[in-house]
Amino acid sequence: MKTIAVATIVVELLAVAGSAAATQQRAELMVGWLGYRDGTISQALGIRNHGLLPIRSARIRCRFFRNAKQLRLGSVDIKNIDRNAVGYQTMLVESPSSPDRAVCRIVSVRPQRHGDLNELVLDAAGSMALRG
């Protein structure tokens, strides 16, 4: 009898982690116009929420390059994105020179859930981990 109860708890925890992972996978990064003016790089970014839950916060990191040499890096948070909606933000990073390319990725997504303080985090290899 105790074995069944333990198995049920494990299955329920996996189901919660699995549903949170599904929410993370349903956030789509949209990378827009890359600009440079007066010593500042500007990168237009958006997160499209395809998930079932609103997104409380999504963090995006970008690396900026010129001729394959990394110039700068930066991060920005986009907050309060409803279901089936898009949130926008422009990343601004000081730089002495203009980039010719940017590489951006979603590094974390915090779904908006009542009483849930967990955060999904992507490591450098692209694997997801639940932190909270």
Instruction: Give me the pLDDT at residue 4, please.
Output: 33
Q: Furthest-apart CA pair in the chain: how many Å?
A: 70
Total domain count, the chain: 1
**What's the number of CA atoms in the CB half-sphere (13 Å) around residue 57?**
11
Whole-angstrom distance, CA of residue 132 vs CA of residue 118: 4
- Who contacts 52 (Cβ-Cβ below 8 Å, separation ≥6)? 23, 26, 83
Q: What is the pLDDT confidence band of residue 73, given thresholds at 50, 70 and 90?
A: very high
CATH at 99: 2.60.40
Instruction: Give me the pLDDT at residue 37, please.
Output: 97
Q: What is the pLDDT confidence band of residue 112, given thresholds at 50, 70 and 90?
A: confident
Structural domain range at position 100: 2-131
- Average pLDDT (7-12) is 30
Instruction: Give me the pLDDT at residue 113, please.
Output: 73
Question: Left (φ > 0), alpha (ψ -120 to 50) or beta: where does 24 sit?
Answer: alpha
pTM for the model:
0.68
45: pLDDT strictly greater than 60: yes
The residue whose two tokens read 């999504």 is 58
- Average pLDDT (28-47) is 97
Instruction: Give me the pLDDT at residue 14, please.
Output: 33
Percent of the chain past pLDDT 90, that is, above it, reads 63
Coil, strand, or helix at residue 105? strand
